[in-house]
Chain A
Amino acid sequence: MNLLPVWLVLLPLFLALLTALAGGWKTGVRILLAGIGGAGYLTLSLIAADMVRRHGPLIYFVGGWGAPLGIGLRLDEFAVIFQVVLGLGLAATLAFILRGRGYVAAELPLLFLLTAAAAGMLLADDLFNLFVFVELASVCSVALIALRRRGPQVTAGFNYLVFTALSSMIFLLALMIIYGATGHLNMGYVAARIANMPPLLYTAAVAGIVTAFGTKIGLIPLHFWQPAAYAAAGCSRAGFLSGVVMKIHICALLRLLWYPLDVMAQAPALATILLVLGSVNVIAGHCLALAQNDLKRMLAFSSVAHVGYILMGVGAGTVAGMIAGLYHVVNHFMMKTALFWSSRAMLAHARSSDLRRLQGAATAAPAAFIGFFVAALAIVGAPPSGGFFSKWLIALAASEGRGLWPVLVIAAGTLISLAYYGRVFCYALRSSTQPAGVSGRGSVPPLLMAAGCLMAGLAGAWLLPWLERAAVALFTRTPPVVAVMLRLMSDS
């Protein structure tokens, strides 16, 4: 039995504990601890990815208790993509935070705790543990949002807490329905018996899960907490929340829908619904972003729109669409972290997050502006960045057999997003007499992320087979043999 999956959860938990204990120690010790921890976690994620590539899914049963009663941790080809995103995201966030100006002492333990919860969401092979980890992630997110304890931040954090509690209730309700109807919490066993579930209950469960996770990922009209929360969280944390944590929720949603609930066989219409929901998110998210004057809120609405692109790819209902959606997940992770992080130096120059006050930011913080410019072009969808190719693949997959309208939606979104990102360039490039008082510290992680956006496109031929394996694994995962036998018995 492989211990690796359990370490992916335990290591950040230990680090959270250590960094919390180290609160009173010297800053150097904490930085050393966090640095080693981040690098170690990235290494662990990459090792896990390599092992999954070579040996297939890694499965660990806690305490040696097998399914269906024991708690399983399972890292499969699909989740490992998100695990690598998580590892990279954590390491880069730590590098950015520790190189930056000041950071709040509670930030490091919270970040590690959130990582542990996110890893748990990727690994949980049974519904109840998934619920626990989702809850843990929500609590950590709220704490990160309200970390600096200023008025608007506390409000934003509180709003998020309320809505996330509501969504958790709905999620729990959906899980109760599934448990009641199938008698199992283990995903494989649920999958084996899902075909016997009454249609009404099945629909209710799927609707509950989509609503619950829709709140977490910002599905319109459940997105309204997001802009305020990201604006309050500050650039570094918003980059992690939007770039990484949101993707983990998408992973959990897709894994739930595709594997235990088996929507492609039970309710293929859901794919089209996701496609339509995604299109609405794209258009409405971009339009709302265009109306913003606050840079962080603008970036938050842009995230709402990009969730839409990912769902459009997924909603194609084919392996090709899933690959395109995963490609966009990887790209959006790099683009959005680069945008949030590089905007920190520019906003520090403006002393406000109002983008109309950005004049002179390009000369005051040139590295940040270059990072922002490259990442914005990638997110708008200019070739040769990965953002362009993932949009292109989404357009091809989503329009397969549906006419041209998904392509038109993506095209319109591209044009609107250029309008608002171009506005930022124009304000930032404007010359000003204000003296440059911004330090260039912490400009390397966003620049690396921006370079990654370009590389994701140039090296697409290398990246795509990996994503393809993940998508195929999601589409072809079969229930465990014992569960199939159980189903046969109950059928007879």
Chain B
Amino acid sequence: MEHVPYIPFAGPLLQWPVARTETGLLAAFALLGGLTLIYALPDIRRGFLWAALIHVVGGILSLVAADLIMLLLGWELMTFSAFFIFTRERDADSLNSGLRYIVMHMGAAVLFFVGAAWQWQAAGSLAVTKVAPGAQLFFLGAILIKTAVMPLHFWLVDAYPRAGFAGSVLLAAYATKVGIFTAARLLNYLPGGVPVLSYIGALVAVAGAFAALRQCQARKLLAYHIVSQLGYMLAGVGLASASGAAAGLFHALNNVIYKSLLLMVAGVVCRQYGHEDLRRMGGAARRMPLTFCACLLAAAAIAGLPPMAGYASKELLKQALTPSLNLLLWLASLGNADPGGSLCVERSLARTACAGSTSLCPGGAVGRPVADPGGFVVVAGGAQTPGATGCPGRCHFSDGGDRDFQDGGPAAALASLA
């Protein structure tokens, strides 16, 4: 067929990830898909099951795609399955926010499409690799939408709290991390040597954390915090260096684990209380000690306390950032300031969980039964976390390509721990 430039599904379509961090992310995706389905068991619906399965398949496909079209297919599978996860309630509000969501993401897909066409004209191939500089502009636009960078974050903050509890766990794990992964795979163009994407990411990391501070709704807070965490990852992958990409992806991998744990906890607690207002959740720690422990673990990880996974990846990020340019010192200082911010966020969650151990909350449905099947799954997920926190660290550390920035203490300490 010498006249047909591109034949659908004809070339090499899939590739196994090479780097350890990527394999780890893949494993985390697969593991979390199963865990979420178990977590969703108490109130599962057939529609949700289908949407969740398609979402998981889309996520995994995006990681193993060898062809830009397959990558786009993964993105679109995730977009349209997420639409059904968001619009579970079938009321006008959630449907409108679902529509905003798919239009935004179709915008990303369309930019992707143009970028792919540019790449085709420039290189004559669609292999998933660093693309032509002009095409990177379009891919960058697509990734900025996909990863909810701050002026474009409204779809995420708007949509995640609308999904079911299990749905938001799934979305937090998959939907945006794929954007980070794509950025690490496709982008390496630094206009004038300045890592623009890193700056954007660092700014978003700070702004997202402070925006999260102002939230009182449990999942809204977590949604803002996802935005902030995505900023960290972008700051890493935006450096376009091997160490930066590895650190960003490592952070993404850790984030998949602890953020989904946090959302599972939030789901269990909110389901118990029947509302999402953190200010009226006094006594949660005493009523659900196991869940609380899991929450503490995840919160420690997200705040970057040693020896948790979040600490390791944030340290690696900072090490990857500092030596590159003088300007990046400023950026790294922002990065340093940010764990304080995330701690504040975590504190607000912890405070509401444990401080008000008196059951004085007016109107809070405190009298509801506390033991629930979901809690056990959370604990199971929580039990995964300390193990998983060590494991990716070790994987990462033994990844020979990234040796240069791993002579620092923290990572070694982590490795020795693991």
* Residue positions of A touching B, CB distance < 8 A: 318-320, 323, 377, 380, 382-384, 389, 392-393, 395-397, 399, 404, 407-408, 410-412, 414-415, 418-419, 422-423, 425-426, 429-431, 457-458, 460-461, 464-465, 468, 471-472
| A-B CB contact pairs (8 Å), 28 listed | A320-B4, A377-B80, A383-B73, A384-B8, A384-B9, A389-B6, A392-B117, A393-B4, A393-B5, A396-B120, A410-B113, A411-B111, A411-B113, A411-B114, A414-B110, A415-B106, A418-B103, A426-B95, A426-B96, A430-B91, A431-B91, A457-B8, A458-B8, A458-B9, A460-B9, A468-B1, A468-B4, A472-B3
Give residues of chain B (53-105) contacting chain A, Cβ–Cβ below 8 Å: 69, 72-73, 76, 80, 83, 87, 90-92, 95-96, 98-99, 102-103
A-chain residues with CB within 8 Å of residue B92 when the two chains form the complex: 430
C-alpha spacing A414/B111, complex, angstroms: 11
Residue in contact with A415 in the complex, picked from B72, B107, B120, CB distance below 8 Å = B107
Judging by beta carbons under 8 Å apart, are B8 and A414 in contact?
Answer: no
Contacts of A397 in B (CB 8 A): 5
Chain B contacts for A460, CB-based, 8 A = 7-9
Q: Is the CB of B114 within 8 A of A404?
A: yes
B90 touches A431 (CB 8 A): yes
Tell me which of B1, B103, B113, B118 has the highest count of chain A C-beta atoms within 10 A of its own C-beta: B113
Q: How far is the CB of A362 from chain B (nearest CB, A)?
A: 8
Contact A396 B117 (CB under 8 A): yes
Contact B114 A407 (CB under 8 A): yes
Contact in complex: A395, B76 (CB < 8 Å): no
Inter-chain contacts of A320 with B (CB < 8 A): 3-5
Question: Which residue on B lies nearest to A363, using beta carbons?
Answer: B90
Residues of A within 8 A of B113 (CB): 392, 395, 407, 410-411, 414
Q: B95 near A429 (CB under 8 angstroms)? A: yes
Do the beta carbons of B118 and A392 come within 8 Å of each other? no
Which range holds the interface residue count of chain B? 35 or more
Chain B: CB-nearest residue to A403: B121
Given the complex of chains A and B, what is the CA–CA distance between A426 and B5 in angstroms? 37
In the complex the two chains form, is B114's CB within 8 Å of A396's CB?
A: no
Residue numbers in B under 8 Å from A408 (CB-CB): 114
- Chain B residues at the A interface, C-beta cutoff of 8 Å: 1, 3-10, 69, 72-73, 76, 80, 83, 87, 90-92, 95-96, 98-99, 102-103, 106-107, 109-111, 113-114, 117-118, 120-121
Q: Is the CB of A399 within 8 A of B3?
A: no
Question: Are A393 and B107 CB-contacts (below 8 A) given A422-B102, A430-B92?
Answer: no
Complex CA–CA separation, A380 to B73 (angstroms): 14
Query: Are A389 and B8 interface neighbours, CB within 8 A?
Result: yes
| Complex CA–CA separation, A384 to B4 (angstroms) | 18
Complex-state Cα separation, A380 to B102, whole angstroms = 12
Q: How far is the CA of A96 from the CA of B90 in the complex (A)?
A: 30
CA distance A323 to B3 in the complex (A): 8
Residues on A with beta carbons closer than 8 Å to the beta carbon of B103 = 415, 418-419, 422
Nearest residue, chain B, Cβ from A472: B3
User: Are B72's CB and A461's CB within 8 A?
Assistant: no
- A471 and B1 CA atoms in complex are apart in Å by 12
A399-B121 contact in complex given A383-B69, A418-B106, A419-B103, C-beta closer than 8 Å: yes
Closest to A362 in B: B90
A383 touching B117, Cβ below 8 Å? no
Q: Are A464 and B7 in contact (CB under 8 A)?
A: yes
Given A392-B69, A404-B117, the answer on whether A382 and B8 have CB atoms closer than 8 Å is: no
Assuming the contacts A404-B118, A418-B106, asked whether A461 and B8 have C-beta atoms less than 8 A apart, the reply is yes
Most A C-beta atoms less than 10 A away, residue of B3, B6, B73, B103 = B3
Q: Given the known A-B contacts A380-B106, A418-B103, A457-B8, are A429 and B69 also in contact in the complex, defined by CB atoms under 8 Å?
A: no
Cross-chain contact A430 with B90 (CB below 8 angstroms): yes
- Nearest CB of A to B75, in Å: 9
Interchain CB contact under 8 A, A426 and B106: no
Instruction: Name which of A404, A411, A425, A471 has the most chain B CB atoms within 10 A of its CB.
Output: A411
Contacts of A410 in B (CB 8 A): 113
A323 CA to B98 CA in the complex, in Å?
A: 36
- The verdict on A426 contacting B4 (CB below 8 Å), with A383-B73, A461-B9 known, is no
Pairwise interchain contact A468-B118, C-beta atoms closer than 8 A: no
Q: Give the distance to chain B from A40, nearest Cβ to Cβ, in Å.
A: 33
- CB-CB under 8 A from A404, the residues of chain B are 114, 117-118, 121
B7 and A423 contact, CB distance less than 8 A: no
Q: Which one of B96, B98, B110 lies within 8 Å of A411 (CB-CB)?
A: B110
Whether B76 and A383, one on each chain, are in contact in the complex, defined by CB atoms closer than 8 angstroms, is: yes
Query: Inside 8 A of A384's CB, which chain B residues have their CB?
Result: 8-9, 73
Residue of A384, A431, A468 most packed against chain B (CB within 10 A)? A384
Q: Are A392 and B6 also in contact (CB < 8 A) when A382-B76, A382-B80, A429-B95 are?
A: yes
Docked pose: A384 CA to B8 CA in angstroms: 9
B397 shortest CB reach to chain A, Å: 38
Q: Least Cβ distance of B65 to chain A in Å?
A: 11
* Residues of B close to A431: CB separation below 8 A: 90-91
Chain B CB within 10 Å — which of A320, A389, A422 has the most? Answer: A422
Return A336 CB to nearest CB of chain B, in Å: 20
Residues of B within 8 A of A382 (CB): 76, 80, 109
How near does chain B come to A402, taking the closest CB pair, in angstroms?
A: 10
